[in-house]
Amino acid sequence: MGRILAIDYGKKRVGLAVTDPLQMIATRLTTVPSNEIWTFLKKYFSKENVEKVIVGYPLQMNNQPSEAVKYINPFLHKFQKDYPEMPLEQVDERFTSRMAFQTMIDAGLKKKDRQNKETIDGVSATIILQSYLEHKKYL
């Protein structure tokens, strides 16, 4: 069984989270600048057995795509072109940034650390992945 990689793609940064090989636990991996994601993915896929990639897809309350999809859609198209054999799923990422911020408060992170957008993006990717794993349990 391979890992599942979660991507929280943003205009400036990409938060990444990954499961353990048994796909039981989601862990924050890192945050990389958006312009470095392709180099990161190539290197990561060469080292790790990744079975599937999930990408947070931002929807509005009315289930319509949010404005951020104008950055995510080109990423999705390029990913499918570069890695056609890799299963790719989009998952609703509504509220993950808010949940990440609240999680950091609950964990006792200092205000300065909570303002670090890289941390928020990484925690958001972890929440997206953990939610995916929880949902998958009940299918």
Give the residue carrying structure tokens 């992945």: 129
Cβ-defined contacts of 115-121 (< 8 Å, 24+) = 117/12, 117/13, 118/13, 118/15, 118/31, 119/31, 120/15, 121/8, 121/10, 121/13, 121/14, 121/15, 121/31
pLDDT value at residue 52: 97
pLDDT value at residue 96: 55
d(CA 56, CA 6): 8
Domains of the chain: 3-137 (3.30.420.140)
pLDDT value at residue 105: 56
The vertex-20 CA angle with 15 and 21, nearest 5°, equals 125
Residue 81, beta-bridge partner list: none
Q: Mean pLDDT throughout 8-17?
A: 93
Over 70: is that where the pLDDT of 139 sits? no
Q: pLDDT per residue over 69-80, tens digit each?
A: 888 999 999 999
pTM score: 0.82
Q: pLDDT per residue over 94-124, tens digit each?
A: 555 555 555 555 556 566 654 556 666 777 8
